Amino acid sequence: MIGFSQALREASAMSGLDSQVSYWDAAAATKTFTHPLHLPWLDGIGRQAAILDYGCGYGRIMEELERHGFDNLTGADVSSGMIERARHLHPTMRFAALDAPPLSPYLDAGFDAVLLFAVLTCVPGDEAQHRLIAELNRVLKPGGVLYISDLLLQDDERNRSRYNRYADLYGSYGVFETGDGAVCRHHSREWLSTLLAGFETVDTRIVTVATMNGHESRGIQILARKPTQT
């Protein structure tokens, strides 16, 4: 069976994310991420539950989880720069870059919960997003939860203009390039529903977040559960 790290590296390559690793490494020292963690959604998860924060960045969400008593946390990110910052800020926590050997043994049904905060926006391609969700589904236990926080399509002129400008280049409305060199994606609700068709949606909430470049944007959080039977 294809390994966790290999599958996500391939997903990254298909989306063009590999070419952006240097961007995220450079951004690691300066960017601030703001998607809020809605703790009531985790009330049913034991404090010893195995939780994977995929796309953990510099460990902001893991720090918050630890403050609330969760003690079996794993953070993973494609950016070694982000992981380096995370390890500096949180030296007692467990982090891994996707190329690191600790990711190779991740087995089927190894985690009770997976967090995916502002990650899909960094994976522009449809197929790459499907592959990512499928692989995270694999490592989730039956009945485990996937907590997604990401950005919806925005309706302001600045965003509509750049969606239109890059739609032909990237083959998807909502994909765009930022002024500082990232390729990002905003999502329709319909697309997110399609992406999570294999999960049971437990709850959703709309949030307002500041993007990494300081723009106020409308986000969505989705709590989904892997079915106990297939």
Look at residue 230 in the predicted model and tell me its pLDDT.
59
Can you give the pLDDT at residue 18? Answer: 53
The pair phi, psi for residue 3, each rounded to 5°, is -75, 160
Distances in Å between the Cα of 134 and the Cα atoms of 30, 42, 117, 143, 174 are: 31, 22, 16, 15, 22
Query: What is the predicted pLDDT for the residue at 211?
Result: 87
Find out whether 108 and 194 touch, Cβ atoms under 8 Å: no
Angle at CA of residue 27, ends 25 and 32, nearest 5°: 130
pLDDT of residue 157: 97
> What pLDDT does 100 receive?
41
77 in helix, strand or coil?
strand
- pLDDT means per 10 residues, the chain with 230 residues, are 44 49 85 94 96 95 97 94 96 83 62 96 91 90 98 97 96 94 95 98 97 90 92
pLDDT at 164: 97
Domains of the chain: 4-154+182-225 (3.40.50.150)
- Give the pLDDT confidence score for residue 56 in this predicted structure: 95
- Predicted confidence at residue 189, as pLDDT, reads 98
**Residue pair 117/127 in contact by the 8 Å Cβ criterion:** no
